[in-house]
Structure 1
Amino acid sequence: MGNYDEDTAFLGQKGQFFIILFFLLNTIYISTGFHSLYIVFVGASPLHHCLVVAGNLSEVWMNASIPKETVKGKLQPSQCQRYILETVRNLSAEGYLPQDVNLTDIKQEKCVDGWTYSTDIYHSTIVSEWDLVCDNEWKVPFASSTLYMGYLLGSLVSGQLSDRFGRKKVLFISLAAEALLILAQSFSNTWLIFCILYFFVGAFQISLYITAFVLGTEVLSKSLRVLFTTLGVFLHYCIGYMVLPWIAFAIRDWRCLLRVLSGLTVVYIPLWWLVPESPRWLLAQGRVMESEAIVKRAAKTNNVEAPDVIFKESEVKEETGKESGNYSALHILKSGNIRKTTLMCLMLWMAINMGYFGLSLNTSNLSGDPFLNCFLSALTEVPAYIVSTFLLKSCPRRPLLSAFLGIGGGFLLLIQLIPESLHTLALALEMAGKFGFTMSFTVVYIYTAELYPTVLRNLGMGICSSAARIGSITAPYVIFLGTFNKYLPYILMGSITIVLSLSNLFLPETFGKVLPETLEEMQKCKNFLKRENLSLEERQRKRKNSLHQACEQHY
């Protein structure tokens, strides 16, 4: 097949067709911001305590029937224990509280009659509806992790589906399926059904994310392609993420919230007629006429004249026998240098995703307004993406990633030193930590792609992406540790990140170096600390010398 970029160069770089498509694809990413973190509000745990059936108890005894306990430095009614009511009733036969009663002498029992929940912030959540507290508290982080389990499945399957059926079909099927599943989730009558549906929401959501990313890189011009894959995708995701808490603020019932989020997807229906299929994919399938029709429509929109024949039939052949098709995951394990590099990348991806999603999910547990906290958490990502994108153009990857990891982990470790009264300062430190993790998120994508040779790049990125899902699956459980000690999640995430910020220095530098093409070129690492970094001219000269020596030996 001929060079697609050369064959379509007449379209230009910033024509109207590309600009319209750029914004249409980015609007799809706004929906991923809506749908990826609604569990923060749907799965929030309102203030609660044991339900006390009134009987002949006075209001004073109703309040006195619940023991007091210290939670996160504050004295509040116990959430899982109450005094044995039979004893309470016997002591208050006339309906008032005797002054000589010592409450500490009364035995306690579990909340056998259920719980009562505060409706000051949330009118209804899955926690208050299905009593996911106390002995069932573990079900909340499990429900959160099912989304990321779905991510793991979707990231493994979506690429194969879009390669077989086309980018456009998989994109819009994923978008429609995600909306219908969220709508069905709002009618869940049990926690188990909610989790099963949430798993498939995650699978279709990551499929939507990846397929739109691939479609944009294949259809957009080279100049807009770079902007789309950096600031475009991330910033529009942030827009959805920032709008989410205000929708949740207006709709405090979890079922209504899901129905509204699902219904907003209706606005994407017209995009089916506006977003084209990938001409590159059509060419790879041998569908030359359809590919040319899309390119000619793009030329008309850009007000340029297209040649009568854009792609020659003789050049459109399926490329077989390429070196990249002969490699599997076993080749990553065969070489010591590649094996060590992959191990380091896996740990980096897991830690960064654990920290990023952990802090995103933790906003409902912070002091202050949970809706404002979620908005601030999303807002910190905007400058993080902008700053990291510009730094990547001129700074080495290795120290840049270590610095961002150090910022993220360092601020989290400082939180435990902040007094209880300075919760605003603690919130600021957590937002600063989120800023560091977000910048690390941006860098690690590009850095990993530059580390692997062309023949293993897709495979290496796929393995690292799978490791990232493991990190995001564990994130809800890391946050759950805060129920035992509120500083424990920060200490764990901060410590792991600081260690990796130092161990990251053992990876080779890639900035300003020619991307490795073959397995042998990536293996040119010395003691895992030093890589033979050759410029393009040096590498070409070395190859010519090798060829010259081979010719001399032949003759």
Structure 2
Amino acid sequence: MMSSAFITDSDTSHCSGIANSTTCVPTVSLRSEFKLFGENSSLADWTTSAFMIGNMIGGSALSHMADRSGRRPAVMWSTLGLGFVGCLSALSPNVYVFSVMRCFQGAFFTGSSLIGWVLAYECISKSLRSYTTLIFGAMWVLGYCGLAPLAYLIHDWRWLMMASSAPALVLGILYVCTLPESFHYLVSKGDVQGTAKWMLTVEEYSSAILPFSAEKIIDDLRFAQKKHFSGEPSSGLSMLKELLDSKIFLLYTFVLAYLWSCDTFVYYGLSLFSTRLAGNRYVNYMLSGLVELPAYGIAPVLLDRCGRKPSVSIGHLLTGSAMFAYVFVPADQLALSLTFWMIGKFAISSCFINIFAYGSEVFPTSIRGLCIGICAVVSKIGGNLAPHVRLLEVIFPSFPTIFFAGLAFLAAALTLLLPETLNRPLPASVKDANSSRN
């Protein structure tokens, strides 16, 4: 995803040294190879938008697949597809073919990352849920920052795409051999054999005997849901009807969809344009990634100590405040402006990872994949617009930053409409969730 920060550059040379002033060598970017300048300059930015459009398509189709066929096949095939199409995109003869490849890659990225998060979240106890953010966040930062030395060493965008896509192929192969199905999914589908196998694996690794059987867990769940389900397998229409019949979950879906759109827009806006800040673009890019690590480390502590709602709301408030303060920093105060930029990136990164945990807990299992898929699809509107945010400078130079601040302030207010989910069990159905709330 973040390779767009470098492959769409307009630079035609790469220089070593912090000041970008020594030992320059030729650089082949997507923009320079396909002559995307003047009236064609926007085509380079549209390759990033194509990735986000693919996210929208994948968020809908693959989330439905995950609810019907299981989390494991959706994650496994998406990861393999992500790596394969990414490598294939390096052979694109023109920007239009590359955009199509990026669209497919974006679709697979949703299945690999978003549904992978859902799978992991449904396999751990509620006491450890918030700490999953630290692991996912650390791995994201590792990949994010790892792109900078790759871009520094590889001066041709085609080889850079190859190098950044190949690890997904390796990971996909590992998934085929090691990835389990979601425990919560197996139980909710009444899969006794799969649940028993999952529990046996837990006993083997923990050296402990579980005091209950798979049949007991599933029977208890069926008894609790006997009044709510007809016993027929859920279809896409039935899941949608279940959502539409609940006004409160429609509201939650709207709020979380906005939060995801806001966070996607602000996060990618700050990330993609970090290479345009004053100073060395590789250093600035790495700093914008490294600042996420403490955000992901603090996030689980805040989620457990302060609760989900306050953590997300205050995080957006801090983002808006930092971006608003950035506008008033004098042009010659580069260190101060970079500090406010990094504070904003720190805060929005914390919010971004927190809403994954929050969204997974707000929705019941029966519609969780559908609702998160809807949020993911809508959020890509923000992702589509992020590469083009510089167009707002036509109004006046600081308007993009003010726009970031306004979106974050509104997100802070809307978060207050969501329920607190700290230390509450994941509901299986809408009626279960309503009963717990009442």
TM range (shorter): 0.7 to 0.9
- The question of 1:420 aligning with 2:420 is answered no
Please list the CA deviations of residues 426-462 of structure 1 after superposition, one character each: whole Å capped at 9, or x if unmatched: 2221111111211222343444556557776555444
1:141 pairs with 2:45 = yes
Residue 182 of structure 1 contacts residue 259 of structure 1 at CA under 8 Å; is this kept in 2?
yes
Distance across 2 between alignment mates of 1:304 and 1:318? 24
412-421 or 396-405: which moved more? 396-405
Q: Does 1:38 align with 2:3?
A: yes
- SS class of match (2:55): helix
Q: Residue by residue, what CA displacement relative to the aligned partner does 1:195-252 show, whole Å, maximum 9, x if unpaired?
A: 0000111111110113322332344456555533x21112211111121111111112
Structure-2-length-normalised TM-score: 0.80
Match of 1:323 in 2: 228
Matched, 1:189 2:99: no
Encode CA deviations 1:144-180: one digit per residue, 9 max, x unaligned: 1111111111121223333454443333322221111
Matched, 1:202 2:106: yes
Rounded to whole Å, the distance in 2 between the matches of 1:421 and 1:167 is: 51
Aligned match of 1:386 = 297
**1:34-183 equivalences in 2 (<5 Å):** 36-46=1-11, 120=24, 123-183=27-87
Change in CA separation of 1:409 and 1:188 when aligned onto 2, cut-off 3 Å: same
Residue of structure 2 equivalent to 1:409: 320
> Separation in 1 of the partners of 2:305 and 2:248?
27
- Judge which range, 203-212 or 288-297, deviates more: 288-297
Distance in 1 separating the partners of 2:250 and 2:191? 40
In structure 1, the partner of 2:19 is none
Which residue number in structure 1 is paired with residue 389 of structure 2? 478
Do the aligned residues in 2 keep the contact of 1:284 with 1:317 (CA within 8 Å)? no
Aligned to 1:52: none
Structure 1 SS opposite 2:305? coil
Following superposition, the deviation at residue 364 of structure 1 comes to: 2.0
Corresponding position: 1:250 with 2:215: no
**2:82, 2:109 within 8 Å by CA — same for their partners in 1?**
yes
CA distance in 2, matches of 1:199, 1:171: 18
Tell me the SS of whatever aligns to 1:183.
helix
SS at 1:184's partner residue? helix
For 1:358, give the aligned amino acid.
G
Partner Cα separation in structure 2 for residue 354 and residue 317 of structure 1: 43
Change (3 A) 1:448 1:38: same
Percent pairwise identity: 25
Partner of 1:364: 275
Do 2:29 and 2:156's aligned partners in 1 also have CA atoms closer than 8 Å? Answer: yes
Q: Deviations over 1:482-530 (max 9, x none)?
A: 477542321221223224434544x25526697897878989xxxxxxx
Which stretch shows the higher mean deviation, 434-443 or 199-208? 434-443
Quote the Cα distance in structure 1 between the aligned partners of 2:424 and 2:112. Answer: 32
User: Is the CA contact (8 Å cut-off) linking 2:319 and 2:343 kept in structure 1?
Assistant: yes
Q: Which string of whole-angstrom CA distances, capped at 9 and with x for unpartnered residues, describes residues 377-431 of structure 1? A: 1111111122222112122544443322222122222223223322232222111
Aligned to 1:510: 420
**Whole-Å separation in 1 of the counterparts to 2:186 and 2:54:** 29
**CA deviation vs aligned residue, 1:175-202 (integer Å, no higher than 9, x gap):** 2211111111111111000000001111
> 1:535 and 1:242, CA in 2 relative to 1: closer, same or farther beyond 3 A?
same
The answer to whether 1:213 aligns with 2:117 is: yes
Alignment partner of 1:131: what SS?
coil
- The alpha carbon displacement at 1:368 in A equals 1.4
Distance 1:321 1:188, change over 3 A: farther
Deviations 1:11-58 (A, max 9, x none): xxxxxxxxxxxxxxxxxxxxxxxxx2111111122169xxxxxxxxxx
Q: Greater shift after overlay, 366-375 or 205-214?
A: 205-214
Between the aligned partners of 1:300 and 1:516, the Cα distance in structure 2 is 26
- Please say if residues 362 and 479 of structure 1, whose CA atoms lie closer than 8 Å, have aligned partners that are also in contact: no
* Alignment CA distance shift 1:315-1:512 (3 Å): closer
Indicate the SS of the match to 1:489: helix
1:347 Cα deviation (Å)? 2.8
Matches of residues 1-12 of structure 1 in structure 2 within 5 Å? none
Contact 1:158 1:210 in 2 (8 A): no
Residues in 2 aligned to 1:487 and 1:301: alpha-carbon distance in whole angstroms: 55
Q: How far is 1:353 from its partner? A: 1.6
Given that 2:131 and 2:300 are in contact with CA atoms closer than 8 Å, whether structure 1 keeps it comes out as no
Worse overlay, 152-161 or 335-344 = 335-344
Higher helix content, 1 or 2 = 2
Taking the aligned partners of 2:82 and 2:363, their CA distance within structure 1 comes to: 33
Task: Indicate the residue corresponding to 2:135 in structure 1.
Answer: 232
Q: Distance in 2 between matches of 1:387 and 1:240?
A: 20
Q: Does the CA-based 8 Å contact 1:168-1:277 persist in structure 2?
A: yes
* Residues 321 and 479 of structure 1: CA distance in aligned 2, closer, same or farther (over 3 Å): farther
SS of 2:36 mapped into structure 1: coil
* Structure 2 unaligned regions, length at least 5: 14-22
* Equivalent-residue separation in structure 2 for 1:131 and 1:143 (angstroms): 14
Q: In 1, Cα distance between the equivalents of 2:34 and 2:397?
A: 24
Matches within 5 A, 1:444-483: 444-448=355-359, 459-482=370-393
- Please say if residues 327 and 456 of structure 1, whose CA atoms lie closer than 8 Å, have aligned partners that are also in contact: no
The change in CA–CA distance for 1:168 and 1:427 in structure 2 (over 3 A counts) is same
Residues 274, 284 of structure 2: 8 Å contact kept = yes
2-structure distance, mates of 1:520, 1:305 = 33
CA distances 1:94-117 after superposition (whole Å, capped 9, x unpaired) = xxxxxxxxxxxxxxxxxxxxxxxx
The amino acid across from 1:492 in the alignment is F
Structure 1: which amino acid aligns with 2:350?
M
Instruction: Report the secondary structure of 1:353's partner residue.
Output: helix
CA contact (8 A) 1:149 1:199 kept: yes
Distance 1:146 1:331 in 2: 32
